[in-house]
Each structure stands twice: as structure tokens, then as C-alpha cells.
Structure 1
Amino acid sequence: MAEVRLQPTVGALHAEAPIVVNGESWGVLAVDAETPSRIDGRDRLKPFADLMAAAIANAEHRADLTRSRERVIAAADEARRRLQRDVHDGAQQRLVHTILLLKLARDSAAGGGDVTGMLADALAHAEEANRRLRDVVRGILPAAHARNGLAAGIESLAAETPIPVHLALVIPRLPAALETTAYFTVAEAITNAVKQAQATPVSVSCALSGDADELLLTVEDDGIGGADPSRGTGLTGLRVRIEASYGTIEVVSAAERGTRIVARIPVDASDRR
């Protein structure tokens, strides 16, 4: 708090104290009196200014927490809806077609008919269902991640990606919550690169900061760029996930110049919850 300044004017006394919230000036508490007080103004104003600053900071923190919880809940609900939609509209439909074709082929074969074409169609539908299920599973933690940690999970993810993924992973085993957050961050970024950015290769680097207090994630692609988190893309979910872990995320995505995503997540994020 800055020191209160007593500024007497003609026939009056003016005293004020700044209200500082989180290191920034929020306003001023001022008092005017017709006659000087027997008690120095700073003895009265500064404690009140301190109380007001604390109350304002608490109110802002509660509001931030409420908004953060709302974003997390909305993101979780959207993830469940998307998973249900992806399974129903993708793999499930293909499997239904496969079953119908196999039944038709069975009935046709019983009557001596040629079932070669129907079997080929059924196989095509089954293969497409398998591909779409792999896309869905990419949004779920792989077994390699659970057994061997983040590096193994990202390597498994890269192996299932239909475009080349160049990896630079220099990471030890980390807290489970941090590894999960980092894995889904990389998975979402790669999914965006494949489906939205039309990228050919993707580069992923993951390492601890120099003092080992942050995990640094970088995902770059050579796609069409123009990614904008404010449009409600998967980048919005990324930001919510990272901020829920007390981290930060930066997205640089100029049109026709690819996209670069850099996330920083505190290693002790799970201890802060």
C-alpha cells in the first residue's frame, strides 16, 4: 500500500489511500472532512483500504473459480457427447452394415448364390469400423501409457497416426495426473493437425524445463493454419485442460503457415488442487 497523503485545502481536509489488488491499482479510498481529525488519516484509511483490497481479491478469485469450474464441466460433457456421437455415427453404423451383409451372404450361400461381392462389402465395412474405432480410442489412454508412462503413450499414439509424427521426448516418469493431462494435450493437438489443418508431418517435443519445475510440450504442423481457439474448436478444450492444471498454452497459427502449440504445465500441479 502506498502511504496516505494528507492534502489540506481551504476549509477542508482531504485524505486518500490507493486500493491495490494483486499488485495492480484498482481504485482509491478517499475521505473529505471540514475539520482536521484528532487521529491521523492513515490510521483510519489504510486498514480500510487493506480490507477492501482483500474483499475485492477474494470476490475476483471466487468468480474466476466459478468460471473455471463451468468450463471444466462443459468440456467434460462435450467430451462424453462427442465420444457417444463418434461411436454411434462411425464404428457402430459400419458394424451394423457388416452384420446385415453377412446375414444376406449367409442366406444367399444357403441357396447356392454367389456371395463374393457381399463378403467383400462386409469386409470393407468391418475395416472402416476398425479404423474409426482406432480414432475413438486415440481419445482414451492407451495401455502403453498406463504401463510405461507418458513417453510410451505418445509413441503409441504416433504409431497409430496416419501421417508421420516426429518425436523428441526427453522425459522421466511423472505424476499420473500430469502425464494424463500431457497425453490428452498431445492427442488433441495431433487430431486437430490431421483432421482440421490438413498437415502432412507433425512434430512433438516434450521435456522438463531447466529447473525441472515445468513440463514443456510443443506440437507443430505444416498445415493450413488459421486455428482460432475462440471458435470453439478442440483448442478450447486444450486451454481448459491446461488451465485446470495451473499451466499456460500458447497457439501460433498464421494462415497457410502451420500451427505451433506450446504448453507449460507445472510438475507440482496435482499438489495444488
Structure 2
Amino acid sequence: MDSQGGRGLRLRLTGAAALAVVSASAGTWAYGRSGASASDLVRDLAVGGAYVIAGLVAWRRRPANHTGPLMTAEGITWFFGNLQGSAVPALFSFGAWWEALNMAVLLHLVLSFPEGRLTTVLTRRLVQSAYALVAVGGLIRTLLFDPARNTDATYLDCVDCGPNLIAVPAWNGAFDAFDAAYHAAGWIISAVAAVAIVQRWRHASAARRRALLPAWMGIGIAVVFLMWDMLFYVVPWFGDSDSLTAQAVYLLSDLSQVAVPFAFLAGLLRMHLQRAEVSGLVIDVGTDPDPARVREALVRVLGDATLRLGLWREEKRAYVDGSGREVGADGPGRTPVRAADGRPLALLHHDPALADDPELLGSVAAALRLALENVWLRTRAKDVASRIVQAADAERGRLERDLHDGAQARLVFALMSVRRVRRGLADHPDEILRAAADEAESSLRLAIEELRGIAHGIHPAVLTREGLAPALNALAKEAALPVVVAAEPRRYDPLVETTAYFTVCEALSNAAKHAGARAVSVSARQEGDRLVVETVDDGVGGVDTAHGTGLRGLADRLAAVDGVLHIDSPAGGGTRIRAELPCG
């Protein structure tokens, strides 16, 4: 959140907290004036304060979600009805009018949880009806209400409260009938809301039920104890209000009401933690997007055990899951994941209920996109590197052939000509001329040998003709120190053979120049689908790979063909260089 947005949020939170303090103070004062006991005041403050505290925390942690503001509003409006205990006419009228506003806010909170918004036409109409009933019906009821005559019209036991500033005495005769209709309308809205909540639960997915569970548990417990609480009032003979049983029920009822807002908060923060897990998707996908492993990570984050993950397969032009089955892109509960350039990457086939939380789905899609694009970029980089190595090796072979068939052939032809000239000068009396012919023959012979060495270093012909094992044996014969070769007489992919050969070349060069080795052993064998080439010398060890450009180059070359280089070089213990290349 930017600094300006952060300041705006802090101002809204501060304003809401200040309003809550004013509402609680005025409501508690008026409630106390009506004759409420100290325990009644504490319980009332505890419930309203719990909603305010939990709401402010949720608002701060999830500012984009309206659940926090709704909980805060529930705590603020909780005290409005208490203002009917005041002898100030304006406060009494306000309390009488908005007495049930906290019930409408609570209905809004329950029906919009956990997204903080109403997702169906029915829930929107229910909430609109509740607010309209309080705003319009509450106003008409207050216009008819005379506290001196209708002494049992509020939950407050107050004989000297009021008067009602906006009462119309001539209309008071209609109060009882309208009050009954007012409460009946409230019960009807509550009954329809209860049905909507039950239907919402029945049709919810496992993921949705887990998100709703903390709030529903809190509400359920609160309703149970409220019913017990009401039973003590409705059926006086059920139990003495001063008995231990009654006091226990009252206490549990209060505790359950205090627990409800924190149950909402727990559910909301659980979803926040769920979003925090999204960042781990990039790590979970790693460098190998195995569909089964990626799906497990997505199931954990989204909480949807029915989820199917389809990864795009260009050769099939379709999304394919881990079992090889195609995942259709049409229908509800589909979230496609595309690269920045529009390329299809993956498709999530999930519970349609998750569409109610687009923020979570968007975060998951973004994290999955990042992870899969990273994999794609690494694959492309590896493909490019592999093509560069292949091109370089092909160029080496072409250059070796050009030297062998071109310059070397011409030098051999020139040597043969010089030898004929030398034989013709065998009886020539000019000794200087004969010596010049001998020197020309010797120089040409040396040039041919050097050219063969250069061509062999660029790309040995024996490697192309006969394979890796003969090439390594030929390399050992020309080495500057004793080399023992143990190589299986098998052929491999030309690129793999070339990479293995030059790995050994570099290892022998290091052993002769830097390690002070007396002997080297070379082995080449196939282990499963890998060609393993090892060189071991008895030199001084202590190879520093960080500063050795040759070994770093080898590692890069091996990585380009999906190979791995391992170096074990303890100080004073020789050096073991192991290269593993794919050959399956």
C-alpha cells in the first residue's frame, strides 16, 4: 500500500475508533441510567467492544474486504438502542429509531462473509429490505411511540425515559398494531435469511465451508445460548434467574456473543494466510513443473480437493493433466493462466464457488504464471545453449575436415614433390642445394605434424569415425603423463561424445599443468540413462573452481546438454572430476 493510501486507511480507522468510543460512552451512560446493573453494563460493553476491536483489526489487515468495516459498524450500532435510556429527547428519539440497526448490519455481515460483498440477488434484496425496514419502519414506529404509554415497547426497564422528540400523539393509538407488524417483518426477513444461509452452506464446496466454518460456529453457539437466555424470560418457572444454572447460561451467552466477532476475524485472517501461501507456489513449482506436485500445492492453497490442473501441450494443442487426460477449457470453474505475451500456460478446473473470491484466484494465477514462465525461460535458455554447443561442435568438425582435406592434403602433396626433387639432387655436386632440399622436406614434415595436432585439438577425426573409447585411448597416448583408460566400446550421441571428450582433455591438461600429477586414470561407462566420465589424478588437489575459467567453461558446456559436473579436490588428496551426461 502506498503512503497516501496508508494515511487514508489510518484516518478511517482512527475516525471509526473515535465514533465507537462516543457511541459506547453514550450508550453505556444511557443504559446505566435506565437501571442496568454493573454486570449488565460490562457484558454490553464486552459484546460491542469485541465487534469494534475485531473489526478494526480485520479492516487494517484486509482493507479491501468490507468485513472489517461491517464488524466495526456492528460494534458502533450495538449501543444505539441503549440511548432510549436517556432523558434527552433527541437521544431518546435517535435510539428508538435506530434500535434495530445493529441487527441489519449483522445480517449484512453474515450474508457477505467472507468476501465482504453480497454475491446473489437474494442476499442483496434481503439486506436492502433489512436496512429499509429499520430506516422507514423504524421512523414510522418512532413517530407512533410514546414511552409514557407504551412502557413495554423496549428491552429497557425505564419508567422516566424520554420524552420522544418526534412523537405524534394523535397517532399513538396505532402503535401496538404497527409495532407487531414491524417485528413480524423483522422475523420474516430473519427466517428467509436463515434459509438462504442454510442453502448457501448446503451448496458450498469443501473449500467454501472451511472458510465459513469459524463464523458459522460462533453464530450457532451464540444463537443456542441466546435461546436459553430467552427461555428464562419467557418461561419464568424454568429456572430462577439468580440460580447458578441461570447465571452459567447468562455467562456462556455473553461469552458466545463476544466470541462471534473473533470467529469472523479468525476466518478472515485464515483466508489472509491462505493468500500468503500463494507466494510459495513459485518455490513449489521449482525448475520442473511436475503436474502432480504443482496440483498438490494448488490444492493446499485453494483448499479444493477436486481441483484439476491442465498444463498446455503445444503438440496436442490442449491442456493436459498429470494423468494425460485433456482438461476442457469450457464451462464453469475454469481459470486460464496465460503468459505475458498471451501464450496459454495452464488451466485451473476448480470448484465454481472459488469464483466468489477473485482476489485469491487472481493471486494464484499470477504466481503460477510467474513460476511456469520461469520454467519456460530456463528451458528456452537451455535450448539456445544446446544449439550453440551443437553449432560450435559442427563448426569444429567442419574446420577439422577443411584442414584435413584442404591445407593438410596440399602440404602432403608439396612434401611428395620436395622428396622427388631431393631424390633428383642425390648426385648433384652442389652440397648447399642438397641441404636446402633436405631442410624443405623436414620443414614440410613438421608443418604437417603440427597441422594434424591442430586439427586433432579442434575435433579429432577418430572421435567421429570410431567413437569415444578409441578417441580417449588416442588422447592418452599423446598425453604428457601416464594415462590409464577404461572405456566401454559404445557409441553415443555425437554431441554427448564430443562433450565427454573435451571434458577429459581439460582434466588431463589441468593434471599436467597445475596439479603436479604423476598419473591419471580415465573411465567412461553408462549408468542407467547417463554417461559417466571420470578422471582421477594423484596431484596436489585443492582445485579452486571459482577462479578456474576452464572448469567453469566445462560446467557451462555440460549444463547446455543437460549434464552435470562434479569436482572433488581435497588439498593434498588429488582431484576427481566426474561428468554425467544424458545418453538414454
Q: Which amino acid aligns with 1:234?
A: G
C-alpha separation in 1, matches of 2:497 and 2:503: 10
C-alpha separation in 1, matches of 2:432 and 2:439: 13
Match runs of 1:55-94 below 5 Å? 55-61=369-375, 64=378
Say whether 1:264 aligns with 2:580.
yes
- Aligned match of 1:142 in 435, 458, 461? 461
- Aligned match of 1:166 in 484, 489, 499? 484
Q: Which amino acid aligns with 1:141?
A: P
Is there any run of 5+ residues in structure 2 with no aligned partner, and where? 1-53, 63-268, 287-300, 302-352, 400-427
Aligned residues of 2:540 and 2:571 also touching (Cα < 8 A): yes
Aligned residues of 1:142 and 1:156 also touching (Cα < 8 A): no
With normalisation by structure 1, the TM-score equals 0.62
Q: Which amino acid aligns with 1:242?
A: L
Matched residues, number: 229
C-alpha separation in 2, matches of 1:197 and 1:123: 39
Aligned residues of 1:216 and 1:263 also touching (Cα < 8 A): yes
Q: What SS does the aligned partner of 1:191 have?
A: helix
CA positional deviation for 1:140? 1.9
Decide whether aligned partners of structure 1 residues 48 and 230 sit closer, same or farther in structure 2, where only a CA change above 3 A counts.
same
User: Which protein has greater RCO, CA pairs closer than 8 Å, 6+ apart?
Assistant: 1
Counterpart of 1:250 in structure 2 is 566
C-alpha separation in 2, matches of 1:200 and 1:150: 24
C-alpha separation in 2, matches of 1:128 and 1:256: 40
Say whether 1:177 aligns with 2:495.
yes
C-alpha separation in 2, matches of 1:8 and 1:175: 67
Query: Alignment identity in percent?
Result: 32
Say whether 1:154 aligns with 2:472.
yes
CA RMSD after TM alignment: 4.4
- Aligned match of 2:284 in 23, 28, 32? 23
Decide whether aligned partners of structure 1 residues 156 and 174 sit closer, same or farther in structure 2, where only a CA change above 3 A counts.
same
Decide whether aligned partners of structure 1 residues 153 and 196 sit closer, same or farther in structure 2, where only a CA change above 3 A counts.
same
Q: Which amino acid aligns with 2:371?
A: A
C-alpha separation in 1, matches of 2:442 and 2:490: 42
Say whether 1:234 aligns with 2:553.
no
Higher strand fraction: Structure 1 or Structure 2? 1
Match runs of 1:212-223 below 5 Å? 212-223=528-539
CA deviation digits over 1:34-60, x for unaligned, max 9? xxxxx7688434432332223322453
Q: Which amino acid aligns with 1:264?
A: E
CA deviation digits over 1:81-124, x for unaligned, max 9? xx9xxxxxxxxxxxxxxxxxxxxxxxxxx998889x99999999
Q: Which amino acid aligns with 1:230?
A: A
Decide whether aligned partners of structure 1 residues 226 and 176 sit closer, same or farther in structure 2, where only a CA change above 3 A counts.
same
Is there any run of 5+ residues in structure 1 with no aligned partner, and where? 1-6, 31-38, 84-109, 269-273
C-alpha separation in 1, matches of 2:355 and 2:276: 9
C-alpha separation in 2, matches of 1:8 and 1:154: 75
Counterpart of 1:271 in structure 2 is none
Q: Which is worse superposed, 230-239 or 131-140?
A: 131-140
Q: Which amino acid aligns with 1:255?
A: A
C-alpha separation in 1, matches of 2:450 and 2:511: 17
Larger radius of gyration: 2
- Aligned match of 1:54 in 359, 368, 375? 368
Higher helix fraction: Structure 1 or Structure 2? 2
Q: What SS does the aligned partner of 2:546 have?
A: helix
CA positional deviation for 1:66? 7.6
Decide whether aligned partners of structure 1 residues 49 and 168 sit closer, same or farther in structure 2, where only a CA change above 3 A counts.
farther
Decide whether aligned partners of structure 1 residues 227 and 61 sit closer, same or farther in structure 2, where only a CA change above 3 A counts.
same
